[in-house]
Amino acid sequence: MSFEEDEDSFEHTLLVVREVAVYKIPPRSTSGGYKCGEWLQSDKIWSGRLRVVSCKDRCEIRLEDPNSGDLFAACFVPPGQRETSVEPVLDSSRYFVLKIEDGAGKHAFIGLGFAERNEAFDFNVALSDHEKYVRREHEKEAGETSADGAADGIDIHPAVNHRLRVREMGIRGNENQISIEFFFPHFFLTFSAYLL
């Protein structure tokens, strides 16, 4: 097994919530979204632990038995498609609808409820953090490929093609002077500093 395969198998647990509730939910009544007020307490089908796990680009929401660790259900969140897998309900900040899949192409929608608002907030933050991580990794990879063909200089932002060039000016009076030049479309700025 190569190092790259090992790196792909690393999982980072972003969040663990000890107790969540899962509900059987009725079909969506309107195109606007789901409402947890329509879910009955008798429709509660499971309670247990929730873990949000990041593995490279993939993010998984795992519903597990707190004692045995057995998996009850998993929701896979593809990169950039969070809205299709995890949908907040319209009438509460503590409830969500998850799209769970069996791996054979079949899927179902279940309701997910948190006991506290701060747990639901942490859940949202964990998903957002994963999205930001994936976006940064893709930008870093894109930056590495564009830097291979770039001229001498560093791209500050790909959309704005400004160049930053750092060069040593030499020795003046027993001190090194560093000059940083910013090149803009119609002018440039030069900052000089002496190193002690």
What are the pLDDT digits (tens) for 5-17?
445 568 889 999 9
The label of the residue with tokens 């002077």 reads 177
- Cα angle value 64/67/70 (rounded, 5°): 40
- Average pLDDT of the residues in 165-194: 49
Task: Measure the CA angle with vertex 132, ends 150 and 49; round to 5°.
Answer: 150
- As given in the structure block, the two tokens for residue 136 are 């940064």
Q: Do 101 and 28 share a structural domain?
A: yes
- Domain of residue 125 covers 3-147
Confidence tier at 191 by pLDDT (50, 70, 90): low
Are both 69 and 133 inside the same structural domain?
A: yes
Taken as a whole, the chain contains a residue count of 196
Q: Examine the domain organization and report whether 140 and 191 are in the same domain.
A: no
Same domain, 190 and 116: no
Same domain, 141 and 158: no
- Please give the mean pLDDT across all residues of the chain: 76
Q: How far apart are CA 119 and CA 179, in angstroms?
A: 50
**Do 82 and 158 belong to one domain?**
no
The letter for the amino acid at 41 is Q
Residue with tokens 């998996």: 71
Do both 136 and 173 map to the same domain? no
